[in-house]
Structure 1
Amino acid sequence: MKIDLTDTTASKINKALVRGRRAIGTPAVGMVLTMVIVTDEENAYDSVKAAEDASREHPSRTLVVIKRHARTPRERTSSRLDAEIRVGSEAGTGETVVLRTFGEVSDHADSVVLPLLLPDAPVVVWWPVDAPDNPAKDPLGMLAQRRITDMYAVEHPLDALEARVRSYAPGDTDLAWTRLTPWRSMLAAALDQARVRITSATVESEAENPSAELLARWLEARLGVPADRVVTAGPVVTAVRLGTADGEIVIDRPEGPLATLTLPGQPPRTLALKVRPTSELIAEELRRLDADEMYAIALRGEGTKENV
């Protein structure tokens, strides 16, 4: 079910949500969090689709904030809020409210979002593109326990990474880091099997890949060895090589969903290592809302030498 409201208020939106749930016969809802997506029109569809797919695992109220740029003098001086409400099958297992702000309302989007947050439930803010330099200090970010950015979506991702280092606060995370979860799990399992001392590390990837840089920094921090960065054709991270006295530990994924794991003195093994869609990345981030200490370590390249 869809409800469109023009030149509306947060109070009217809340009342429309109640009417919508009653109309479809589900006045009581079991949503566990509020997801706030701050995006533009171009990226709104894909972002909402990913959040609604993730809501099948984490039922949520999704608030999509789209700040519309003024095109005429009248729009620059006017202030307006339009809303599109989706409940039932239109919104995954939760409900979605698309908020389009015009004029001065765009400068105070937090005052629009605040009355629409689920009571006594965690808040997650996700910027698919154009994240603020300091998410924790952003007015919308200050409402959240978890703040998600994506360095892969910016023009200069390694510059964005350094900005994240300077502004990091507990609760910050980035999808460039989330994409590494299968790699980190496989590396940890490989080191558990090999039980050898690591003497060097190499991360291979396409140029300017923020996930590869985070992975290299994480290996340096956790293993206490320098990690070389090698540029390949991609896509994304293509291989990790760990040097030992007995030979290399290698996870190689030049393309496709399969990787090859090679341990010293053992035959190669084929493992599943696909590039995951955004919905799976968001669903993973919503499983934990506490501070991600490993992300902080990877950002700063700090830590003590130990097995991954």
Structure 2
Amino acid sequence: MIVDLPDTTTSNISKTLVKIREEGGAVALGRVLTLVISTKLGHEEEAIEAANDASREHPMRVIVISTGTDGPKTRDDPRLDAQIRVGGDAGASEVIVLKAYGDTASDEEGLVTGLLLPDAPVVAWWPADAPKIVSQSPLGRIAQRRITDAAAQSDPRGFLHHLSDTYEPGDTDFAWTRLTLWRAQLAAVLDQPPYESITGIEVHGSSDSPSTSLLAAWLQMQLDVPAKHELVTPAHGSSGIQGVKLRRASGAIELERTSGSIATLTQPNQPTHDISLPRRSLRDCLAEELRRLDPDDLFGEVIQRGLSQLDEPSKIHSSKSKAASK
């Protein structure tokens, strides 16, 4: 069910939610958190779809705040249009979409405060442009967890270093979440014999992939071995992390992504294996981050200490990417 509330107030939205609850049952029961999404007008649906999918694992109230411009619908006068989605239109959540215009858009905290679930954690998510200092932004101040996406910024690697300088416990980024499968696979390989020390680390990926730098920083910090990482000018289908090589006395371990969802694992004296290593969807990243509402201490160490200790990457053109991935 979708209820449109043009030119409304947060008080009226709250009353409408109560009415829907009374008429359709206790739709708020079982909600474990409030997810607040800050996005631009006209760019809400992809984030809402990811939140709806993630809500099947984490029942929640979703509040979407859309500001900025929306083509011919842009208004300079203060105005708040809202939409409430429940039932099949909201997955296992209830979605409140707030489209704010004029001066109304300048008070994000005030718009959401009266709509938060009582006594429930608050998670803030910026799918696109992030505030200058996430933890000090209006939404960041009221959230226990704050999610950004370096890959969506105009300068992904620059944003990571900025996040390193401004990091506060509770901050996280999807560039880190996208590493989960890589980290798990590499850890599993190193847990098997022979138990030899790693003497060299090489990581390569596309230049638009901040996850490549984070993976190199994590490996360098965990293995206490300097890591080299190469950033390749992205060609068609080459975006993201492309491969990792770990050198040791008996030979190199190589994990190379050969397609969008398959990676090849090569080890000395063992058969080559093709393993599933899919690129993580927005829904997968969001669902993982919502599983923990306490600060991610490991991410804090990697973004603050590991990234600063990492050498600058070497950069090569896409014409060399094939050779680099061998």
Q: Is the partner of 1:81 in helix, strand or coil? A: strand
| Contact residue 24 and residue 88 of structure 1 kept, 8 A | no
The answer to whether residue 259 in structure 2 is matched with residue 255 in structure 1 is yes
Q: Is the partner of 2:259 in helix, strand or coil? A: coil
Q: Is the partner of 1:198 in helix, strand or coil? A: coil
How far did 1:293 drift? 1.4
| Contact residue 220 and residue 301 of structure 1 kept, 8 A | no
1:15 corresponding residue in structure 2? 15
How far did 1:27 drift? 4.9
- Matches for 1:126-275 after TM superposition, within 5 Å: 126-194=125-193, 195-232=195-232, 233=235, 234-275=238-279
| Contact residue 203 and residue 212 of structure 1 kept, 8 A | yes
- Distance in 2 between residues matched to 1:93 and 1:191, nearest whole Å: 39
Residues 56-91 of structure 1: CA deviation (Å, up to 9, x unaligned): 11001000000144989x943x32211101111111
- Distance in 1 between residues matched to 2:55 and 2:88, nearest whole Å: 12
Measured on the aligned residues, the alpha-carbon RMSD in Å equals 1.8
1:84 corresponding residue in structure 2? 83
Q: Is the partner of 1:100 in helix, strand or coil? A: strand
| Contact residue 70 and residue 102 of structure 1 kept, 8 A | no
| Contact residue 125 and residue 141 of structure 1 kept, 8 A | yes
Deviates more, 1:290-299 or 1:230-239: 230-239
2:312 corresponding residue in structure 1? none
- Distance in 1 between residues matched to 2:154 and 2:168, nearest whole Å: 23
2:290 corresponding residue in structure 1? 286
The answer to whether residue 294 in structure 2 is matched with residue 295 in structure 1 is no
How far did 1:223 drift? 1.1
How far did 1:22 drift? 3.0
- Distance in 2 between residues matched to 1:276 and 1:285, nearest whole Å: 13
- Distance in 1 between residues matched to 2:119 and 2:28, nearest whole Å: 16
How far did 1:254 drift? 2.6
Paired AA for residue 177 in structure 1? W
- Distance in 1 between residues matched to 2:70 and 2:102, nearest whole Å: 7
How far did 1:43 drift? 2.4
1:150 to 1:27, Cα distance in 2 relative to 1, 3 A: closer
Deviates more, 1:155-164 or 1:258-267: 258-267
How far did 1:15 drift? 1.1
Deviates more, 1:160-169 or 1:221-230: 221-230
Paired AA for residue 215 in structure 1? L
Deviates more, 1:294-303 or 1:54-63: 294-303
- Distance in 2 between residues matched to 1:75 and 1:251, nearest whole Å: 52
1:154 to 1:229, Cα distance in 2 relative to 1, 3 A: same
How far did 1:134 drift? 1.0
Deviates more, 1:264-273 or 1:226-235: 226-235
Q: Is the partner of 1:249 in helix, strand or coil? A: strand
1:55 corresponding residue in structure 2? 55
Identity %: 45
| Contact residue 70 and residue 103 of structure 1 kept, 8 A | no
1:70 to 1:99, Cα distance in 2 relative to 1, 3 A: same
Q: Is the partner of 1:121 in helix, strand or coil? A: coil
Paired AA for residue 158 in structure 2? D
Q: Structure 1 unaligned runs (5+)?
A: 304-308
Paired AA for residue 79 in structure 1? P
Q: TM-score, normalised by structure 1?
A: 0.93
| Contact residue 82 and residue 97 of structure 2 kept, 8 A | yes
- Distance in 1 between residues matched to 2:215 and 2:272, nearest whole Å: 23
Q: How many residues align?
A: 301
| Contact residue 243 and residue 254 of structure 2 kept, 8 A | yes
| Contact residue 208 and residue 240 of structure 2 kept, 8 A | no
Q: Structure 2 unaligned runs (5+)?
A: 308-326
